[in-house]
A and B are shown apart, each in its own frame.
Chain A
Amino acid sequence: EVQLAESGGVVVQPGGSLRLSCAASGFTFDDYTMHWVRQAPGKGLEWVSLISWDGSRTDYADSVKGRFTISRDNSKNSLYLQMNSLRSEDNALYYCVAVVLATAFWGPGTLVTVSS
């Protein structure tokens, strides 16, 4: 069974930094591309970033490009999102998503609150 567990979400001031983590289990982690997707309170889903199985390819939504960095450690079955220069519009529940054999699996999410 695919399991994803995000952590690291806290309250942070505008301009601050945060690192989210996602622990994966139940599948061969280093075979698959991983994504971060976020959902602002009461809003829809917004894709944030992806990283290829070996980390050689990354991509970002325009709204976070230059501020967020995605990475992974296949030896630890873990995905990360380094978030810098945080803004109020980054307030959201952040989901780790694995697409395994064409089916997307979502974690429970971790809440990031940007507030002074």
Chain B
Amino acid sequence: NFMLTQPHSVSESPGKTVTISCTRSSGSIASNYVQWYQQRPGRSPTTVIYEDNRRPSGVPDRFSGSIDSSSNSASLIISGLKTEDEADYYCQSSDSTNRVVFGGGTQLTVL
């Protein structure tokens, strides 16, 4: 099976833009959709991006997703950072049998 690798932590200032990467170890990043989940401290995860770049209703358009086949990675981009965006973010994809794979998570600090 493949792995998804994320940076352990990122930090950025309020109002700025941050990008969190998620690199697939084998197989094409484009072969299965990528989802992104936000987990605030002490809370359950919630979906911020599904199917690579789609936002559930209620998620602000400051959140966007993309995939890059050249680097075999997906990215979560958060613009206009707010302190409330401070959380752990996880990417997730599936293999050909629909087994779920999570990235290790990225801690976002907004300072």
The answer to whether A103 touches B100, judged by C-beta atoms less than 8 angstroms apart, is no
Residue of B whose beta carbon sits closest to that of A61: B99
**What chain A residues lie within 8 Å of B104 (beta carbons)?**
44
Question: Which residues in window 66-80 of A have CB below 8 A to B?
Answer: none
Residue B51, interface by CB 8 Å? yes
Which one, B37, B44, B54, contacts A108 given CB within 8 A? B44
Say yes or no: A45-B98 contact (C-beta < 8 A), given A102-B50, A103-B56, A108-B44: no
Main secondary structure of the interface of A (DSSP, over half): strand
Say yes or no: A45-B54 contact (C-beta < 8 A), given A50-B98, A50-B100, A59-B98: no
Question: C-beta contact mask, B76-96 vs A, less than 8 Å → 1, else 0?
Answer: 000000000000101010000
| CA–CA, A110 and B67, complex, Å | 34
Residue B97, interface by CB 8 Å? yes
Residue A53, interface by CB 8 Å? no
| CA–CA, A44 and B91, complex, Å | 11
Residues of chain A at the chain B interface (Cβ within 8 Å): 33, 35, 37, 44-47, 50, 59, 61, 95, 102-109
Residue contacts A-B, CB under 8 angstroms, 15 given: A44-B90, A45-B37, A45-B45, A45-B105, A59-B97, A59-B99, A102-B33, A102-B50, A104-B35, A104-B37, A104-B45, A106-B45, A106-B46, A108-B44, A109-B44
